[in-house]
Structure 1
Amino acid sequence: MDPKRELTSVDLAALVTELNRYEGAKVDKAYRYGDDLLRFRMRDFDRGRVELLLEVGEVKRAHVADPERVPDAPGRPPNFAMMLRNRLSGADFAGAEQFEFDRILVLDFERDDENTRIVVELFGQGNVAVLDESGEVVQSLETVRLKSRTVAPGSQYEFPASRLNPLTVGYEAFKRNMDDSDTDVVRTLATQLNLGGLYAEELCTRAGVEKTTPIEEAGDEEYRAIHHAIEELRTRLRAGDFDPRVYLDDGAVVDVTPFPLEEREREGLDSEAYDSFNDALDRYFYRLELEDDEPEDTGRQRPDFEAEIEKKQRIIDQQQGAIEDFEAQAEAERRRAELLYANYDLVDEVLSTVRDAREEGVGWDEIRETLAQGAERGIPEAEAVVDVDGAEGTVTIELDDTEVAVEVDTGVEKNADRLYTEAKRIEEKKEGALAAIEDTREELAAVKRRREEWEEDDAEETDDEEPDEREERDWLSMESIPIRQSDHWYERFRWFRTSDGFLVIGGRNADQNEEIVTKYLDQHDLFFHTQAHGGPVTIVKATGPSEPSEAVDFPERTKEEAAQFAVSYSSIWKEGRYAGEAYMVTPDQVSKTPESGEYIEKGSFVIRGDRTYFRDVEAEVAVGIQCEGETRVLGGPPSAIEDRVETSVRLQPGRYAQNDAAKMLYRKFKERFADQSFLRKVATADRIQEFLPPGGSEIVED
C-alpha cells in the first residue's frame, strides 16, 4: 500500500478544528524551504512555542509540528519569506477555516496596521496565496491563469468552483444527488458527494450498506442510514471528538486519520493512537520523510549506509537532548510547586495582600509601587516579589533563588497543582520522545542489519568463481530482495512483452489511442483492435521508437497474445463477457481520414481492406511479480506473463471492483513473499491496479 501523501477533505476539517485552539498566538517569524514548504514560528500563552508547517509539493500537508522536529532555519531568506515576515511579524493568529469541503485551508492573521489572509491549496499542483484585506493577491508560490480562475499578484483571489459539501447537505438534496447517479452506492458517495474512496467505503460500512449496491436497487432505508452516518461524522468533526490513528503496514506508515477506520482495520493494518490529530499528523509526516530518505537497492550499487547511520545517530542525539530538556523542565516545575508549599505562609500573605487590594479597586501599577516601597522598608513578603504582571494577573516571587509566577486569583494549593500538572504534561511529552527515540533506534538497527547483509552478499559473490552457475534463487523465501528498476518510455501505456519478446502497447483512453497511432505506429508493426466498441488501440512493435524500422516475421503466438491483450482490456471485460473477437491489420490500413460526410471521434480510426480475425479469444489476464532482472509488477496474457514472473495470479471478468481486486492481489502476494519491504516498494495495490482490466474481476482459483 502506497503511503498517503496528501490530506483528505475530512482530514482538513478535523485539522481546522484543532488549529483554532491556537487562536491568539503571535507570529514571530516565517521561513521558506525549497519551492513548497513554509514554516511559521509563533508563541502561544498556554502552549509556548508553536511551529506551523505548510507543504504544497509532492507531499501536501498542514499541521503544528513538535519544535524538535522542524527543519533548521535556512540561510538567506528568499523574497517570499521576507514578504511574509514584513506582513506577519507580531501579528495575531485569528483563526483557520476550510473553504467549503474542498482541500483549501484559509488562515487569518490580524495586526494593527494590516490584516493578512493566507490561502493554502492542498490539491492539484498545490499553491499558497497571500492576500491583503481586500482579497487581492500580494504574492503566491505559483501563478495560475485559467479560464475558470486566476491566482496572480495584483488580482482578486478566486476560489475554485463550488462543490457539494456532504457535511451540510440535507436529506432531500442528498437523496436527489444519489438518485441522479448511474453507478453503485460507494462510487456515488466518492464522486458525486465528494467524500473520496476511503471515506465513501467507511460510511457504507458504518451504515451497514453494501457498498457495491447499484443505485437503482438502493432505497430510502439505505439512504437514511448513510445520511445518518454522515451526520455523525459531521458532529464529531465540529466537536473535535477525535481519536487519531497512524496506520502502519509492516512497520511503515501508510495513513493517518482523525478517527479509527473500520476499513483500515479490515486490511489488517497496525495502528498507533495519539492525543491530538495534530500530533498524529506531525508524527506521520516526520516518519514518512525518514522512510522516503531510506535508499533503495538499485542493481549492485552500494547504498551509502554510513551517511544514513550518521543521520539516524544525529537524530537520536537530538531526541536524547530533548528528553533531557523535558526531564529538566519537569523537575523545575515540581521544584517550584514544592517551594510554594515550603514557603506557604509567605506566598499566601503575598497573594492575600494583592487580592485584597484588587478587590478594593487598586490598580496594578499602584500595587507594584506599594510592594516596592514595602521592600525598601524590609518587609519580607514585599522583598520576595520580583515582578507584577497585570495583563496576566500574576505575581512572580523569588523563593530560594528560584522565581515562581503565581496567579493572584487562586490560592497556594491551586497554584502548586497547576505547576504539578504542567510537570506531568512535560513528562508525557518526554514519554512521547522516548517512544520516538526507540523508533529511531530500531531504524538505526535496521540500517546496520542491511549493511551487514549487503557485506555478506558481497563476500559470497567475491568467493564465487563462477557466479553464473549458482543455484536458482528462491525469491519468495529471500529475506532481502534487491530492487532493480529502470524507467521505460512505454510504461505510461498499457504494455507487456510477448513470449517471443516483442513489445505490445495499448492505449488507456482516447488520447493515448490517438497518440499511439500518430506517434508510435511504424510501417512494419501490427495493429490490433476488438470488434466491440471501447477497446484499446493495440500495436505490436517490430522495433523500438529510436531504432530503424525493419520487417519482422511475427510468430503466431505473439499475434495470439496481442489479440488476447486487446480483448481483455476492452469493454468486453467490463461487460462481464468471458470471450470476444479481435482483428489484426497492417499500419497502411489504418487512417484518420473518414469517408465523405462522415466524422471520426478522437481515438477512433478508419480501417480499410481485409482483416485477420481472432475469434473466441479468452478474456483472461495474469498479474505477477518479476524478480529476475528488473523487479516490478507485470500483467497481460497468462502465456506471456507467467514464465517471466516469480509468482502470479490469474483473473477473469467478475464482481470485484478494480481497486478491490488490486487489494486482494496485494494480500495474496504479501502471503507469498518473505521480504515484505520489497513487496511494498515494488508492488503496491496502486501499481497492481495499473495492470488490471477496466471493470470487475475475479481470481481464477488454481
Structure 2
Amino acid sequence: MDPKRELTSVDLAALVRELGAHEGAKVDKAYLYGDDLLRLKLRDFDRGRVELIVEVGEVKRAHTVAPERVPDAPGRPPQFAMMLRNRLSGADFAGVEQFEFDRILEFVFERDDGVTRIIVELFGQGNVAVTDGEYEVIDCLETVRLESRTVVPGSRYEFPDSRLNPLTVSREGFDARMDDSDTDVVRTLATQLNFGGLYAEELCTRAGVEKTMDIADAGDAEYDALYGAIDRLAIDLRTGNVDPRLYFEDDGGEDASDEGTSDGDEESPERVVDATPFPLEEHEREGLPAEAYDSFLSALDDYFHRLELGDEAEPDPTDTRPDFEEEIAKHERIIDQQQGAIEGFEEQAEAERERAELLYARYGLVDEILTTVRRAREEDTPWEEIEARFAEGRERGIDAAEAVESVDGEAGTVTVELEDERIELDASEGVEHNADRLYTEAKRVAEKKEGALAAIEDTREDLAAAKRRREEWEEPDEEEADDEEDEERDWLSMPSLPIRENEGWYDRFRWFHTSDDFLVIGGRSADQNEEIVKKYVDPGDKVLHTQAHGGPVTVLKATDPSEAARDVDIPDSSIEQAAQFAVSYSSVWKDGRFAGDVYVVDADQISKTPESGEYLEKGGFAVRGDRRYLDDTPVGVCVGIQCEPYTRVVGGPPEAIEGKAETTIEVEPGRFAQADCGKRIYREFRERFEDESFVRKVASPDRIQHFLPPGGSRIVED
C-alpha cells in the first residue's frame, strides 16, 4: 500500500489535544524552508525546547519533532519568515483548534501588542495564512480567489463552507445522512459522514457491519452498531484516550513484533505506511506489522522522519540539476501575493480618504447628527430612545435622520450612510475629529503599502538572481544540440522529461503564437492596455478590439519590437485567430456568451489623441478611418503543455494551440472560477503524463490560470 502523505481529520482531532499540552510555551523564532515548510521554535518551561513543523506541499503534516531532526536553518530568511518573527517573537502559545472536522488547524499566539493566528490548511493545494486577532490576513503562502472564498493579504480570512462533523452529529442527523444515500454503507460513511475511506472501513469493521451492504438493506441494528462505533471513537478523541501505532509494509524479512519500540530505529528495513492514534483492525487484518508509541506526536515524528529517509533512498536522476523552476515559481508567487497586498492597501487607503472627504462634503448634515446625539446624551437620554427618535425622523422625511443607518450605545457610535458609503462616527466628537481619524487610518495603510513596495523589490531581485543562475547552468552545448535526433518522441510516456524554459518579453501579457507563427499580445488590465498601445504597436501590426466594452487591446505583431518595421502580408487565418483571442478574453466570455463582434485596424489608424471634446479612458485609443468587422466571432480557448523546443504552458485559440502543444484541453464559458478550473486542468494533465513532477514544475495551477479568460469556465468534454 502507498504510504500516507497527508494527515486525516481523525489524526488532527487526536493531535490537537496533545499539542494543547504545550500551551504557555514562548516562541523563539520562525523559519520557512522553500515555500511549503514552516518551523516554529518554542520554549516550554516544563518540557524544554519544542520544535513545531508544519508542511503544506505534497506532504501535509503538523506535529512536533525531536530537536536533533530539525533541518539546518536556511540562509537569508524570506519576507514571510521575517513577518512571523516580528509578530511572534516572545509570544505565548495560547492553544490550537481543529476547524469543524476539516483538515484545518488554527494556532493562536498572544502577546501584549495583540493576537496572531496561524491557520494551516492541510487539504487541496495546502496553505498557511497568518491573521491578526480579528482574522484579517497579514500574509499567506498561497493566495486564494474562488467564488466560494477568498484568502489574500488585507482581506478577512474566510474558512471553507462547514461540513458535517460526524463526531458531534446527533442520532437523528446520522440517520438522515444515511437514509439520503443511494450507495453502500462504507461509501456513505466516507462521503456523507466525511470519514474518508480508511476510517469508514474501520468503523464498519468495529461495528461488525458488512462494508458493501447496500444502504437500503441496512436497518436499525446496523445503524445502532455504526453510531455506537462512531460515539466510542468520538469519546476516545475527546478524552485523549489514544494508543498510537506506526504501521509498516512487511518486506518479507523477519516478522515485526507488535510490542515494538518507540526509539525510531533508523535501521529498520520495513517501509512505513501509516501512523494512527489507535490500533486499526483494518491494518491488523491486512497483517501489517505495527510499533506502539507513548504519544501520537512522537509516532508522527518517527513516521515522517522514516518516510523522508525512504524517499531519499530512491534518488531521482533529475535531482542533479537544481530545481530552478521551483525557486522561480516561488518568487513569482510571492510577488503576486505582495502585488495583491499593495493593491489592497491602495484601495483601502483611498476608501478611507474618500470617507473623510464625504464627511466634509456633507458637513452640515453630519454635524447636525452628531450635535443631536451629544445634546441628547448630555440630558441623559438613553441610547434606545435616541435611536427611536432617528427612526421617527426617518418617517417624517428629515434628511439627517434618513442618513442614520444605526446607533450603537455600547460603543458610543453612530453609523451613517452617505452616497452609498457606510461610515461609523464617534458620537462624542465632532466632524473634524471623525474625519481626522479616517485620514490617520488612510496614512497608516499607506505606510503599510510603502513597506510592501520595499519588500517586492527585494523579491524581484531574488527572482532575477534565480533566473541568472538558471541561464548560467543551461548554457547550450552546441555539440549536443547538433547531435539531437529529429525522431518523434512519446512525451506523455517518458518517465523523466527535461525542462527547457524560455521566457519572452511578452510573457507578462496575454499572448499566443498563431498557426502561421505570428505573435499576438493582449493586455491583462487597463495599465497593460495603455502600455501596449504606447510601446508595442509598430507599423505593419494589426490592432483588434471587441465591440463589447471591457476587453484586451489585442495586437497582431508583424515583427518583433527589436526588428525594423516592414510590410508583412499577414494571412487571414492569423487575423481570425487574433479576433477569437480578443473576444475570448473580453467581457463576452465573462458574461457567459459564446460569440461577439471584433474590429480590425492597421497600426497607423490608432492614436492616443482623442477627437476634440472626447475623452480616452486608460488603455483606450482613438481610431481614424474605416474598420474591418468580424461579426459573431466565436469564443474559444485551449490550454496545452508544449514540450519542444521549450517546456511551458501555452494557451489561446484552439486552432493555434493544438498544433504547438503535446496535449491540450479546451474550455468554454462555464460556472467554475479561474482558480478552480485551473486546478481541474492541472489534475487532468498530471494523469496524462507519466512524469507527474514535470507537470508540477512547468504547468502548476497558477501557470494554467494565467491563460484562462476572466470569469467562469468549464472543460469541454470530448
Give the shorter-chain TM-score range. 0.3 to 0.5
Q: TM-score, normalised by structure 1?
A: 0.48
Could you say which structure has the larger radius of gyration? 1
Under a length normalisation based on structure 2, what TM-score does the superposition of the two structures give? 0.47
